Amino acid sequence: MDLNTLQEMVKSLVCDGCEALSENRCHNALGSFSQLLDILTPSDLQKFYLSNIHYVVLLYGQANALLGTGQCEELAKAEDLLKTIITQYTKERFNCLAYYGIGNVYFRQNRSPSGMYEIAILPYRVVHLNLLMD
C-alpha cells in the first residue's frame, strides 16, 4: 500500500475507535485500535505526522476498550498496556491516567483494595507531578 492510503486508513481507524469508545461499543473500539496499532509502530510515527503522545493516547484508547469488554484476558492485557505507558513513556506524562486505568482494572477484577489504593493515591501523584513540573 502507498503512504497516502495508509494515512487515510490510520485516520479512519482513529475516528472509528474513538467514536466506538464514546458510544460504549468496546468490542468495535478494540478492533479499530488493535488494527491501528498493528499498522503503527513507534519508529513509523513521523510518516503519519504523529508524535509519541499521539501513540500513547492510542495505547490508552486500546486499554480502555479492553477494560470495557470486562473479560479476564482483556483486563490483563489492559493492565499490561497501562504499565507499558507508565514504564516506557514517562516523558509524555500520562502516568496519572495510566494509574487511574490500572485502578479501574483492579476494581473490575474485584481486587478492590488494590484498585481503591491506586485511585485513592491519584491526587497525590498529580500534586507530585505538578511539583516536578515547576
Condensed to tens digits (0 to 9), the pLDDT of residues 9-25 reads 999 999 999 999 999 99
Task: For the chain, give the number of residues.
Answer: 134
Residue 121 reports pLDDT greater than 90? no
pLDDT mean across residues, the chain: 85
The structure's pTM equals 0.80
Residue 17 · residue 36 · CB < 8 Å: yes
Condensed to tens digits (0 to 9), the pLDDT of residues 43-67 reads 989 988 899 999 999 999 999 999 9
Residue 2's region, left for phi above 0, alpha for psi from -120 to 50, else beta, is beta
3-state SS, 23-63, equals: CCCHHHHHHHHHHHHHHCCHHHHHHHCCCHHHHHHHHHHHH
Residue 108 · residue 70 · CB < 8 Å: yes
